[in-house]
Structure 1
Amino acid sequence: MQNQPITQKITSLNVCVVIPTYNNQHTLKRVVDGVLNLTSNLIIVNDGSTDATAQILEGYPEIQQIHFPKNRGKGLALRTGFEKAIALGYNFAITIDSDGQHFPSDIPNFIEELDQHITKDVLIIGSRNMKQEGVPGKSSFGNTFSNFWFWFETGIKLKDTQSGFRLYPLKVLKKLNFYTTKFEFEIEVIVKCAWKDVEVKNMPIQVLYDETERVSHFRPFQDFTRISILNFWLVFLTLIYYKPRQFFRNIKKKGLKRFFIEDFLGSKDSPKKKALSVALGVFIGFSPLWGLQTFLAITLAIFFKLNKTISFAFSNVSLPPFIPFIIIGSLELGQLIFQESISYSVSDLMDNFEVIEHLKSYIVGSFALATLGALLFGFVAYFFFSIFKRKKRVLQHD
């Protein structure tokens, strides 16, 4: 018998439940019945099961069902389920695994959480207690690994990014393009939703790992490799697209003056940390690492726990209008270091200057310029930020 209040709320919020299943004959019926106690808005995607799954589902003719003739992967099963849900007019989809580790009784918690965020796009991931007894070590390690890369790629810290018990905003998913078909899809979808400014958050859920009936289809080597390749690609996109886009969008949204005051001066980082961030950005910008400045500035800022926004901003000292001056400065310092003389003109630099002919002088001089520039800008920045911090304290006391 359905819980009428929660059933009505599921209907009013236009939510359905999607269950992807593959060879989980021992737990599937329990999960399906648990969901039906709450709602009949249910879509099951049978991902080519070879056990008794098809026979079990014959007992539920009233449920929307999709059957693949052969196994195609959890990601594709989910994507197909979402496409069906969108075609049926649903706005949200809750996904729950069929292996028995999730409790359908937690679905009302997702609905209550959604009800509090209905005015904005939200993606809710059920957060498991990875320290409880019975949690496989490989699951705990994989989750920690995944959490780190999700934070790196989006700036969002979560406790669990691998749980399959989730609530998705279908109107957002409808506008996105996905390329993965296996377990890695669940990483791709949350990263791309976060990049679309969807609020991605955790919510505590119950979890059961019963090895006597649970069947896991995660293949440690193959699937971990797939996830690693996906994360490599997402990190690359983060550094060359998402972070720069976010930086320039903030400037456009706030205006240069407000952005400078809030994101540079108003940052809670210490003057020392801000100055080191400036120095790092300038060093990268002046160095002869053309095409890698953005990647290196953001990556090293994260590694050294510096201000990513400031480092990225100052790495742009190598914008095209400044490049001839950087090359001239590098060559002059290189000549000074090697005590040699190079004949060139500004027109040579602009037209047909062959830097390869003077590669040694250019590279050494470039790093020397980068070091001097980092020291100069860093000291000036520290002095500037220290004065601003003291003035801010005076104003606050007044």
Structure 2
Amino acid sequence: MRTLLTIPVYNEEGQLGHVLERSLPYAEDILVVDDGSTDGTLDILKDFPSVKLHQHAQNRGYGAALRSAFAYGCEHGYDVVVTMDSDGQHEPDLIPRLVKASKDADIVSGSRYLATFDEDTPAPKDRRRINLLITDQLNACLGLQLTDTFCGFKAYTRSALEKLHLTEDGYSMPLELWVQAACHKLTIVEVAVPRVYLDPSRSFGETLDDSDARMEYYQRTLDRAIAVARRRVGCGLELRPRLQEANR
């Protein structure tokens, strides 16, 4: 299968070179989507002439960078598009495993909670709490069996991507993705990947470093995605009442 590895990047001059060096043995074609970096990220790419580059003139957000990656992969006829974060938390040697699993699935999603690895690091408590709550909610209202909503290490078939109509620019884009995947009855498989937090204090930007604000932002995106799905494809999803931390 013709595969494209895509890496969304925003101000990652400290990690990008290392990530690309480790990825090259496992990916014949690599696309970096630079989301308006203002540091030396683009200078790093000069040392990797085989790596393709798509640039956003301004910072638009994680979801917008992934949409550009998906569009590139579809337009250039790749069978599978793999997404991997640029901060060094994903293991490139697992790329072949995700690609192999995509032979029998529309979306293959890494999960940091399916198995235990020697290199695992503790998840920040607020991130783990929010991931649990949102994952429970998605599973309840969409009939999924996810264990990790937000892992950015994924493989998508082109046929799956061509069914999606994603609009969310920010970090909540995966919620819109899961809603549409469920509506289109896409086959989803999770693959265990290590849980590595090199910088647990990494900022989400603006107000989203506040966990309550971030949870509300995710909830709004989920509510909106389900409302849009009902109108567009009539899949009849029912959103269960919001889960509260006290109920866990």
Letter of the 1:159 partner, please give it: T
Residues 1:216 and 1:29: Cα distance change in structure 2 (over 3 Å): farther
Letter of the 1:243 partner, please give it: G
Aligned length: 232
By how many angstroms is 1:299 displaced? 4.8
- State the identity %: 25
Letter of the 2:39 partner, please give it: D
Q: Is the 8 A contact 1:126 1:163 kept in 2?
A: yes
Superposition pairs of residues 330-349 of structure 1, within 5 angstroms:
none
- Quick one: distance in 2 between partners of 1:238 and 1:217? 27
Consecutive unaligned residues of structure 1, counting only runs of 5 or more, are: 1-12, 245-294, 304-398
By how many angstroms is 1:216 displaced? 4.3
By how many angstroms is 1:161 displaced? 1.2
Q: Is the 8 A contact 2:35 2:61 kept in 1?
A: yes
- Quick one: distance in 1 between partners of 2:171 and 2:33? 15
By how many angstroms is 1:74 displaced? 0.6
Deviations 1:269-303 (A, max 9, x none): xxxxxxxxxxxxxxxxxxxxxxxxxx6xx859xx9
Letter of the 1:124 partner, please give it: V
TM-score, normalised via structure 1 length: 0.54
Q: Is the 8 A contact 1:99 1:216 kept in 2?
A: no
By how many angstroms is 1:71 displaced? 0.7
- Quick one: distance in 1 between partners of 2:78 and 2:137? 31
By how many angstroms is 1:112 displaced? 2.6
By how many angstroms is 1:137 displaced? 1.0
SS at match of 1:37: helix
Q: Is the 8 A contact 1:153 1:234 kept in 2?
A: no
- Quick one: distance in 2 between partners of 1:216 and 1:299? 30
Superposition pairs of residues 1-398 of structure 1, within 5 angstroms:
13-115=1-103, 117=104, 121-129=105-113, 133-211=121-199, 215-217=202-204, 219-221=208-210, 223-236=214-227, 241-243=234-236, 299=240
By how many angstroms is 1:157 displaced? 1.6
Whose RCO is larger (CA < 8 A, sep 6+)?
2
Letter of the 1:106 partner, please give it: L
For the pair shown, which has the larger CA radius of gyration, 1 or 2? Answer: 1
Consecutive unaligned residues of structure 2, counting only runs of 5 or more, are: 244-248
SS at match of 1:46: strand
Letter of the 1:25 partner, please give it: E
- Quick one: distance in 2 between partners of 1:155 and 1:138? 25
SS at match of 1:242: coil
- Quick one: distance in 1 between partners of 2:141 and 2:156? 19
Q: Which has the higher helix share?
A: 1
